[in-house]
């Protein structure tokens, strides 16, 4: 017996909220990675910034997935989630993204490094998605359309590679923001492509229409931690001026503050309107020099 699947039981609320969380995680991750690449004088902070960036991207992807899953229902069966597999999917998202981020953070965005790290990270993101799907418990089994699953994996690979490239190649605040919006589209597209591959084969009747559920009692509490982490990461980013300013603006600001022997602008002339100001650059007319009179 085929189950009736509804992936948008709350309309546009869940996909829009999921997209926003994916963009937030991507934006925070990009800014943190960019910050790590600017620590030329003190590299002791670099691992911390990279770890914060990887955790932000991983939490953003995981949060996006399970917010979208709140809208997933099967009319004929109640849905529950296995706690262990749900937590494992979060760990996979953070750890695998972290490996890719650290690879490009220390080795740069060379073609070989980018392709290897992007492929590994993309497979990890796809793995996170399907581990999360394996955590679903209902009175039936999930079946997948193989070509559609393959397409979702390809989208994950492209999105991960583009994210890693953007992390090391894009420095400006506005360009990072634009890149995070594109990455949010890619991550959401990967998720809903994977969901389009799903069909449910029921083991038997377990109730009439409306008997289904979306496991709010598990998903909402588990989402609280990653969402709070993203908000705290946002506070860290906003209190670091180098992350808010563009690289050129920050460099110009620090150069003005730290330039040794920077000459001050000469004070404005405050003498009488009928008395000419002292001239500089010519012998005998320096400021403060005594005036010679004839006779």
| Average pLDDT per 10 consecutive residues for the chain, totaling 295 residues | 84 92 90 74 76 91 92 87 91 91 85 88 90 91 94 92 83 80 90 93 61 58 85 80 50 47 47 48 49 50
Question: Which distant-in-sequence residues (6+ apart) come within 8 Å of 98 by Cβ?
Answer: 50, 51, 54, 55, 58
Q: Residue 34: what pLDDT? A: 81
> What b-and-e string marks burial along 198-232, b requiring 16 or more CB atoms within 10 Å of the CB?
bebebeeebeeeeebebbeebbeebbeebbebbee
Element (H, E) at 201: strand 198-202
How far is the C-alpha of 230 from the C-alpha of 134, rounded, in Å?
Answer: 25
Q: Residue 292: what pLDDT? A: 52
Q: How far is CA 102 from the centre of its chain?
A: 15
- Strand, helix or coil for residue 77: strand
**Integer CA distances (angstroms), 34 to 83, 105, 149, 179, 261, in order:** 34, 9, 33, 13, 31
Pick the closest to residue 244 from 181, 183, 167, 171 (CA basis): 171
How far is the C-alpha of 81 from the C-alpha of 91, rounded, in Å?
Answer: 16
| Helical H segments across 197-259, by residue range | 216-238, 241-244, 247-258
Radius of gyration of the chain (CA): 29
Q: How many CB atoms lie within 10 A of CB 118?
A: 24
What does DSSP say about strands 198-202 and 73-74: parallel, antiparallel, or unpaired? Answer: unpaired
Backbone angles phi, psi at 277, to 5 degrees: -70, 155
Sign, CA torsion 116/118/119/121:
positive
How far is the C-alpha of 108 from the C-alpha of 168, rounded, in Å?
Answer: 7
Q: Residue 170: what pLDDT? A: 76
Q: How many CB atoms lie within 10 A of CB 270?
A: 6
Task: Spell out the domain ranges in the chain.
Answer: 5-251
**Residue 260 has what DSSP assignment?**
T
Q: Residue 219: what pLDDT? A: 78
Q: Residue 110: what pLDDT? A: 84
How far is the C-alpha of 256 from the C-alpha of 261, rounded, in Å?
Answer: 11
Q: Residue 279: what pLDDT? A: 55
Q: Residue 87: what pLDDT? A: 92
pTM (predicted TM-score): 0.75
Q: Residue 232: what pLDDT? A: 86
């Amino acid at each position: 017996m085929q189950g009736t699947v509804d992936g948008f039981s709350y309309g546009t609320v869940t996909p829009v909220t999921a997209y926003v969380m994916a963009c937030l995680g991507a934006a925070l991750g990009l800014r943190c990675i960019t910050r790590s690449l600017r620590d030329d004088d003190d590299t002791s902070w670099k691992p911390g910034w990279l770890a914060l960036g990887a955790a932000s991207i991983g939490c953003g992807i995981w949060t996006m997935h399970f917010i979208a899953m709140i809208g997933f229902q099967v009319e004929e069966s109640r849905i529950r989630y296995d706690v262990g597999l749900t937590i494992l999917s979060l760990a996979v998202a953070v750890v695998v993204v972290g490996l890719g981020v650290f690879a490009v953070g220390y080795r740069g965005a060379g073609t070989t490094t980018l392709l290897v790290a992007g492929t590994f990270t993309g497979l990890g993101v796809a793995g996170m998605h399907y581990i999360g799907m394996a955590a679903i418990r209902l009175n039936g089994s999930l079946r997948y359309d193989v070509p559609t699953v393959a397409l979702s994996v390809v989208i994950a690979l492209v999105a991960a590679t583009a994210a890693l490239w953007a992390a090391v190649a894009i420095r400006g605040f506005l360009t990072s923001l634009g890149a995070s919006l594109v990455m949010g589209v890619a991550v959401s597209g990967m998720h809903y492509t994977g969901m389009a591959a799903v069909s449910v084969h029921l083991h038997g009747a377990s109730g009439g229409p409306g008997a289904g559920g979306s496991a709010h009692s598990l998903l909402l509490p588990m989402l609280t931690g990653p969402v709070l982490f993203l908000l705290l990461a946002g506070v860290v980013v906003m209190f670091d001026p180098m992350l808010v300013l563009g690289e050129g603006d920050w460099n110009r600001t620090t150069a003005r503050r730290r330039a040794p022997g920077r000459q001050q602008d000469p004070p404005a002339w405050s003498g009488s309107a009928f008395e000419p100001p002292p001239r500089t650059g010519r012998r005998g007319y320096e400021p403060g020099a005594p005036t010679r009179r004839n006779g």
